Amino acid sequence: MNPNDLSLALALPGTETPWVAAPIITALGTALLLLIPMGRNLRALIAVLGTLVMLGASAYLVSATAGGAVLSSSMGAWPAPFGIVMVADRLGAWMSLLTGVSALMSVLYAAFNPDRVREKYGLFALLHFLFAGVQMSFLTGDLFNLFVAFEVMLVASYALAVLGSTREQLREGFRYIVMNLSASALLVVTCGLIYGQLGTLNMAHLAQRSAELGAVPAVTALSVLLLMVFASKSALFPLGFWLPGTYPAVPPAVGAFFAAILTKVGVYALARTFNTIFVAEPDVARNILLALGTVTMLYGALGILSQREWRRVLAFSVVASVGYLAFGLGIGTPAALSATMYYMAVSILVTTAMFLLAGVAERDTGTPYIAVRGMLEHRPLLAAAFMFGALTIAGLPPTGGFIAKFALVQAALAAGGPLVYLGVFSALASSLIILYAMLNIWRTFFWGKQRSERALTPPSLAQAAPMYLAMLGVVGTALLAGPMTRLTAAMGQELQTPQHYIGGVLGDRPVVIPPAPTEAYGGKGHTDAGHAEQEEKGKAGSDDGRIQPADQQPADRQPAAQPTDQAAPEPTAPQPEVNP
């Protein structure tokens, strides 16, 4: 097939293609390959190459969905909504690409900064199992499969959180595991309740059914349960108490991916749930998101002021960034959603870069503490990278952080409302507090004279290269602001029109679900012969081979009424069949 023809086919809405699962399969295959005993250098090479292939597959999905296509892949040839389906629209492909970029930087850092103890127990394999779970979370089109993806992701993250068995890891890892297990238990219970209420777990079909039902209190209550689950995954206040201690306890390569991506999985789930599925009564969820986002921004910013270690400071900056994202989702207008998706990219890239920078600084000075002083003279390039990253986190020009936050505040002021205005105040105040905290790091680490004659152990160029590459990505969010803004604006519009997603997954034909036996076979007392007869009638009355109730069959296929001299009996409710 001509490549141009393939690209044209993939640009059509609702295209079925197996390439949707390529990032997941690549990560999973690499993880399994890394379980084979081999030398350290070969293992690191395979890990890097596998991540590159995964990144390439994600980039292809972004290119294929850029024109508005919704790509899908049905597992086992079972059509949606009856089978498991993988779906890539603009948002899913965008998150998959950002995951690939962060994963590549983390794996490169781990490859060039050996950790023999953790590598002995499967560091690279666990990382790729984690990548597979994250990619599945972004590309699944089924709510229960989202739970499965969470578990794949979390099992790998549990192992990575305690790999090394230091006292700090075990303490913080226990808190992390308990919190996420509780949230996962609530998620699977909520999935069961949603299935009982709406009869499906396919996201597109859920969106269709919830729109048909309208504002139903039971459905609203279930959506709030999902909000609580995903808020805990996102580390929104007060459910994010586990984050500031967990991410600094793991190695820098692992912590960079944890901090950049894992909380964003929860934010993505919130965006998908309340802009695609439950859109009939958005005010309840959006007001909760506005309130949680407003408080989380300030909580994260104030938490930065209380910390004196590199990665603990950055962990609280992650909390603050999640608050900005939740605030944007709470506003819910296309402009706010566009700014939120832009800020999502900025946050992922700058968090990856800054956590790797913290690893380089800790390796160089031999301490996790910031109060070293005098490093500007010894490490000017490191100082320049930190300054640009700090300005991006604070949201000052000329960085991508400023562009994203300015667009978010602008969208908020256009939307209006008391909660929104309170959130704008919180966003501006948080940025000022974060700026003060970043300048304090500059003063205590880079400025002045070195307090002691501690011997520095400068990292090699290869050891620091992943951090500088990640920081170049942060610079790119400012240089490529035009194309990124156009893409995220299209995402915002797409999230506001769930019919586009529904049509891409389910197609134009209505979903026909076979009725219960008592409806299809005429109530009680039917025999096997009658069963077969009714089934043949159902097949004859259905163009797609499914059994349909008589009142749904075409008029020319319904049996003619039989003449009778007797009066028609009064209709009675069907009686249950009694088994002796």
pLDDT, tens digit (0-9, with 9 covering 90-100), for 70-106: 888 887 777 777 778 889 999 999 999 999 999 999 9
Using CA atoms, how far apart are residues 445 and 447, in angstroms rounded to an integer?
6
Using CA atoms, how far apart are residues 80 and 4, in angstroms rounded to an integer?
28
Per-residue burial over 260-270, b = 16 or more CB atoms within 10 Å of its CB, e = otherwise: bbbbbbbbbbb
Tell me the mean pLDDT in the region 464-472.
92
Using CA atoms, how far apart are residues 261 and 268, in angstroms rounded to an integer?
10
Using CA atoms, how far apart are residues 371 and 365, in angstroms rounded to an integer?
10
Closest CA to 55 of 3, 29, 93, 9: 93
Tell me the mean pLDDT in the region 387-397.
93
Q: What angle do CA 137, 138, 139 make, to 5 degrees?
A: 95
Res. 198: pLDDT tops 50: yes
566 vs 420, residue with greater confidence = 420
pLDDT of residue 5: 39
Using CA atoms, how far apart are residues 376 and 390, in angstroms rounded to an integer?
15
Tell me the mean pLDDT in the region 125-137.
94
**pLDDT tens digits, 37-49:** 888 899 999 999 9
Tell me the mean pLDDT in the region 342-359.
94
pLDDT of residue 14: 57
pLDDT level of residue 379 (50, 70, 90 thresholds): confident
Tell me the mean pLDDT in the region 439-446.
88
pLDDT level of residue 275 (50, 70, 90 thresholds): confident
DSSP secondary-structure letter at 565?
Answer: S
DSSP secondary-structure letter at 76?
Answer: G
pLDDT of residue 19: 86
Res. 6: pLDDT tops 80: no
Note the maximum CA span of the chain. Answer: 112
**pLDDT tens digits, 285-298:** 889 999 999 999 99
Q: What six digits make up the tokens of 377? A: 């003279």
Contacts of 221 (CB under 8 A, 6+ apart): none
pLDDT level of residue 199 (50, 70, 90 thresholds): confident
Give percent above pLDDT 70 in the chain. Answer: 83
pLDDT level of residue 277 (50, 70, 90 thresholds): confident
Cβ 475 vs Cβ 403: under 8 Å? no
Among 169-178, 227-236, 487-496, 506-515, where is mean pLDDT lowest?
A: 506-515
Res. 66: pLDDT tops 50: yes
Res. 536: pLDDT tops 80: no
> What's the pTM?
0.83
Res. 543: pLDDT tops 60: no
**pLDDT tens digits, 201-216:** 888 888 888 888 877 8
Using CA atoms, how far apart are residues 32 and 575, in angstroms rounded to an integer?
56
pLDDT level of residue 450 (50, 70, 90 thresholds): low
**pLDDT tens digits, 470-492:** 999 999 999 999 999 999 999 99
Res. 453: pLDDT tops 80: no
Among 180-194, 318-332, 358-372, 401-415, where is mean pLDDT lowest?
A: 358-372
Using CA atoms, how far apart are residues 242 and 235, in angstroms rounded to an integer?
8
**What value does the mean pLDDT of the chain take?**
82
Q: How deeply is 94 buried, as exposed, middle or buried, from its count of CB atoms within 10 A (0-12, 13-18, 19+)?
A: buried
pLDDT of residue 84: 83
Res. 569: pLDDT tops 70: no
Res. 518: pLDDT tops 70: no
Res. 267: pLDDT tops 70: yes
pLDDT level of residue 127 (50, 70, 90 thresholds): very high
Res. 123: pLDDT tops 70: yes
pLDDT of residue 549: 41
566 vs 63, residue with greater confidence = 63
**pLDDT tens digits, 168-185:** 888 888 888 888 889 999
Res. 566: pLDDT tops 50: no
Among 218-232, 422-436, 520-534, where is mean pLDDT lowest?
A: 520-534
Identify the H or E element spanning 85. strand 85-88
Q: What angle do CA 314, 117, 34 make, to 5 degrees?
A: 95
Tokens 């890097």 locate to 48
Per-residue burial over 460-489, b = 16 or more CB atoms within 10 Å of its CB, e = otherwise: eeebbbbbbbbbebbbebbeebeebbebbb
Quick one: how far is CA 111 from the chain centroid? 26
Contacts of 435 (CB under 8 A, 6+ apart): 390, 394, 396
Q: What six digits make up the tokens of 29? A: 């295959």
pLDDT of residue 320: 94
Q: How deeply is 145 buried, as exposed, middle or buried, from its count of CB atoms within 10 A (0-12, 13-18, 19+)?
A: buried
pLDDT level of residue 577 (50, 70, 90 thresholds): very low
Q: Cα separations (Å) of 449 from 205, 355, 369, 443, 463? A: 63, 25, 16, 10, 26
pLDDT of residue 190: 92
* Omega of the bond leading into 398 within 30 degrees of 0 (cis): yes
pLDDT of residue 472: 94
Tokens 């993939």 locate to 10
Count of Cβ atoms closer than 10 Å to residue 283 Cβ: 10
